[in-house]
Structures are given as C-alpha cells and as structure tokens.
C-alpha cells in the first residue's frame, strides 16, 4: 500500500469560529490551550483519509511564557467527541485507536517559550469496509495539566478533527461498450407513493452524440421519473428530466462534458423539483407541484436500448430517498452514505467489481441485475444476468479512474 508521508488535506480553518486575535490573547493570563483552537471552544478541523497514511501536527500553546517548563498530557478522547456530537447535532464516529498514532502524549512547553514541540498525529489508512460504511469518522483530543503551574483554558482544552473519507471503489460500465449493450434492472420494487423524493447517482459517460441516453427510469400508473442525456434537438450535451403528466425539465445543464464525473441529484419537495450537479443547483421547476410519484415493480438504469444508448457510461452510488435531501446533505454524502440513514429506500453502491448483480445496501430491498439486448420484458425470469466490464480505482479525490477506458 502506498504511504503518503506528506501532510494531506489538512484544513486549518475552523468551521465554527474565526482564528484568535491579539485582543483575545492579551485577555488570557498564564493559561495553556490546544493551539489549533485559537482559544475558541467548539472549533473543528478537517483531515482527508483514504487508502494512504495521513499525518498532521498538533501543538500546545501558552498565553504567556513561563519561567519553568510546563508539562501537559494530550490524549485521544471519545468522551470529547460524544460531547461535540451532542452539542452540534452531528454523528461522528471515533476512528479506532489502533489507527491513530501520536508521536507523544506528554507535551512540554519549555521555559521562556509559548509553543510546545509539535505532536505528530498519524492516521492509518481506512479499510474498504470503513470506506463503504458511509460513517463519518473523527478524532478528538483532550488537554490536561501534568503538574503545570499554567492552568488549562476550559473550552480550548479539546479539539476535534473531522475526517473526510477518500473512497476508492469499483464501478460497472453500462450502455454500449465495445459493441455490447448492457442495462440494469431492479425488479420486485415494493410499491410506494412519494410525496417528496431524492434520486442521486454518479455517472461518467464517454459520448453525448445521441439523444435519449437514459440514466434512470421508474414508471407506475400515473407516474414517471425519467432522467436522460439529450432529447429531440441536438446537440445532446444536456440533461432532460420527465415527470409524465407533470411536465419536464428540458435542456438543462447544457454543455455537459464527456469523460467527466458528475454527481446528479433530483430533489422534489412536493412543490419544487430541483436539479443539482456536483453540489451546485442547476435549475428548478414547479411543474410537478402537488403530484404524488410512485415506485412499482421495476427500476431501470441505462435502459433506453442499444439504438439510443450508443455510448458507454460508468455508474456508481445510485440512491432513492423518500425525503427531499438538502444541498448540504448532498454535498456531504456524494461518494458514500450510511445505508441505515432514515429515508433511504434503495441504495446500490455498484461497487462489487465482478458479476452482474449490484446488491442493495438497504436491508430487504432488491438488487439491480445486468442484462443485454435479449432481455425478455414479458418473461424476465427467462433472461440471463450478464457481466459488464468493470473499472477499478474510482476515487472521490479525482486521482483514480477519470474516464471510460
């Protein structure tokens, strides 16, 4: 496994409060604190962690130099993280202690100095199971006096690093690839009415030279949700979304590029249908306002047929929710999500790396199976599951597979 010895992805900026200023420091007297807090309580740092080791530094600081050495202990604390979650409504999970190495836990600020030597914090790589779990990991620290005369500043004696997971996964190629057409179908979808919903997926297509290249389709009596690249008029480098009798979003996200990863999310809150791409709002419409959409029996992916879906598309992370996800939720969970999250009806990670069945991460919900052009819609039980071509090293940091091979 490749080890990254440099400091990666350290975001020194806090998400809650600004850095300390001279006025704040002058108000302190003979107190010690974790330097990264800037004397402010509740600050949150950030680290990125994936399949490579990551390290950063953490320090103890004094408000004023002292005549004698000042000794402190700096330790990991699950209690600190529990308190942070309680105060902020978050659900961070402490990274297991065996994956966190501190160069020292006893920290000394030398006489006449205000900073301790840096404590190096090294995080061991995440396992594939951790990447796939959708959990939000973090590490939390607690500073305590070890006989120092300079007291510890309450509130600035704790610090939390949120860990942004860098995922690495496999993904299938659907549509038409090297002359062979593949689509995926989930049958046995439990009937459900949706007064609001979110559908999201990650896609990377190698051609936009044909209309009606369907990414997603769900039909039920009186209901349609259909998402595709291209409609009637060229060029076909745009998204088109149909809501059956509820109208459509036509020619949106124009200028889409090939061989580019897009996280596409369609959110309906009962009044507005809004399209987001890569965490940015593209457009919204009130045409389907007040409608109740339905899921019934089947979900189709890349299902428009070889005559239409003439290009190849990598798919990943297809999810269906019975809630209208917020923009913040979309951004925070683009690459993975906890399958036990309330409101998640279906979740196909599409990361098996082999075979033609994509498991549904929601307990009891049906899988997606891959078929070719010979699929018998009237007698699906007679159709043979096919194995598509898989790509590996699909990463959330953009350093892995970036196009259809």
The Cα diameter of the chain in Å comes to: 86
Q: Where in the chain is the domain with CATH 2.60.120.200?
A: 169-395
Torsion angles phi and psi, residue 244, rounded to 5: 65, -130
Region of residue 347 (phi > 0: left; psi between -120 and 50: alpha; otherwise: beta): beta
Q: Are 370 and 183 in contact, with CB atoms under 8 Å apart?
A: yes
Upper half-sphere CA count for residue 199 (Cβ side, 13 Å)? 22
Upper half-sphere CA count for residue 304 (Cβ side, 13 Å)? 22
Q: Are 171 and 315 in contact, with CB atoms under 8 Å apart?
A: yes
pLDDT tens, per residue, the chain with 405 residues: 333 433 333 333 333 333 333 334 445 778 999 999 999 999 999 999 999 999 999 999 999 999 999 999 999 999 999 999 999 999 999 999 999 999 999 999 999 999 999 999 999 999 999 999 999 999 999 999 999 999 999 999 999 999 999 999 999 999 999 999 999 999 999 999 999 999 999 999 999 999 999 999 999 999 999 999 999 889 999 999 999 999 999 999 999 999 999 999 999 999 999 999 999 999 999 999 999 999 999 999 999 999 999 999 999 999 999 999 999 999 999 999 999 999 999 999 999 999 999 999 999 999 999 999 999 999 999 999 999 999 999 999 988 999 999
DSSP secondary structure string for all residues of 226-259? EEEE--SSS---SEEEE-GGG-EEEEESTT--SS
Q: Are 34 and 58 in contact, with CB atoms under 8 Å apart?
A: yes
* Residues shown for the chain: 405
Report the alpha-carbon distance of residue 58 to residue 50 in Å, rounded. 21
The residues facing 395 across adjacent strands are: 168
Report the alpha-carbon distance of residue 201 to residue 183 in Å, rounded. 15
Which CATH fold topology does 22-165 show? Immunoglobulin-like (2.60.40)
Output the 3-class SS for 360-381. ECCCCCCCEEEECCCCCCCCHH
The string over 92-129, giving b where at least 16 C-beta atoms fall within 10 Å of a residue's C-beta and e elsewhere, is bbbbeeebeebeeeebbbeeeebebeebebebbbbeee
Q: Which of 301, 276, 403 is nearest to 357 (CA)?
A: 301
Q: Which of 198, 219, 320 is nearest to 265 (CA)?
A: 198
Q: Are strands 197-205 and 70-76 parallel, antiparallel or unpaired?
A: unpaired
Question: Which residue intervals of 190-339 are DSSP H helices?
Answer: 327-332
So what's the pLDDT on residue 29? 78
The total of other beta-carbon atoms located within 10 Å of residue 86's CB is 9
So what's the pLDDT on residue 27? 59
Q: Where in the chain is the domain with CATH 2.60.40.1740?
A: 22-165
So what's the pLDDT on residue 166? 95
Contacts 24+ apart (CB under 8 A), 87-92: 87/42, 88/42, 90/136, 91/136, 92/136, 92/137, 92/138, 92/160, 92/162
So what's the pLDDT on residue 398? 87
**CATH class in words for 169-395:** mainly beta
Torsion angles phi and psi, residue 163, rounded to 5: -110, 115
Q: Are 387 and 354 in contact, with CB atoms under 8 Å apart?
A: yes
């Amino acid at each position: 496994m490749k080890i990254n010895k440099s400091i990666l992805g350290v975001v020194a900026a806090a998400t809650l409060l600004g850095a300390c200023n001279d006025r704040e420091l002058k108000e302190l007297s003979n107190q010690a604190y974790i330097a990264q807090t800037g004397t402010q309580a509740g600050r949150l740092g950030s680290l990125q962690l994936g399949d490579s080791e990551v390290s950063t530094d953490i320090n103890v600081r004094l408000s004023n130099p002292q005549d004698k050495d000042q000794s402190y202990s700096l330790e990991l604390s699950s209690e600190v993280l529990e308190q942070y979650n309680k105060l902020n409504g978050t659900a961070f999970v402490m990274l297991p202690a065996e994956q966190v190495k501190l160069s020292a836990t006893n920290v000394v600020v030398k006489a006449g100095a205000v900073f301790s030597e840096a404590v190096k914090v090294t995080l061991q790589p995440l396992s594939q199971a951790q990447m796939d779990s959708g959990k939000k990991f973090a590490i939390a620290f607690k500073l305590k006096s070890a006989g120092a005369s300079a007291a510890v500043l309450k509130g600035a004696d704790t610090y939390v690093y949120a860990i942004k997971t860098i995922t690495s996964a496999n993904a299938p190629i659907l549509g038409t690839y090297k002359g062979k057409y593949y689509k995926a179908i989930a049958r046995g979808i439990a009937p459900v009415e949706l007064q609001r919903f979110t559908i999201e997926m990650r896609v990377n297509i190698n051609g936009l030279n044909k209309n009606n290249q369907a990414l997603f389709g769900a039909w039920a009596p009186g209901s349609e949700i259909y998402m595709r690249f291209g409609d009637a008029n060229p060029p076909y480098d745009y998204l088109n979304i149909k809501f059956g009798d509820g109208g459509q979003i036509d020619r949106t996200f124009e200028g889409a590029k090939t061989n580019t990863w897009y996280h596409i999310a369609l959110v309906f809150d009962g009044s507005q249908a809004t399209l987001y791409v890569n965490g940015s709002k593209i457009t919204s419409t009130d045409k389907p306002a007040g409608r109740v959409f339905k899921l019934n029996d089947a979900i189709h992916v890349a299902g428009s047929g070889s005559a239409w879906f003439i290009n190849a598309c990598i798919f990943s992370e297809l999810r269906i929710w019975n809630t209208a996800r917020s923009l913040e939720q979309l951004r925070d969970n683009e690459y993975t999500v906890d399958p036990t999250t309330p409101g998640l009806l279906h979740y196909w990670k599409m990361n098996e790396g082999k075979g033609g069945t994509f498991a549904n991460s929601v307990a009891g919900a049906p899988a997606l199976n891959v078929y070719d052009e010979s699929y018998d819609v009237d007698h699906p039980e007679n159709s043979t599951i096919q194995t598509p071509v898989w790509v590996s090293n699909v990463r959330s940091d953009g350093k892995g597979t970036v196009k259809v091979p």
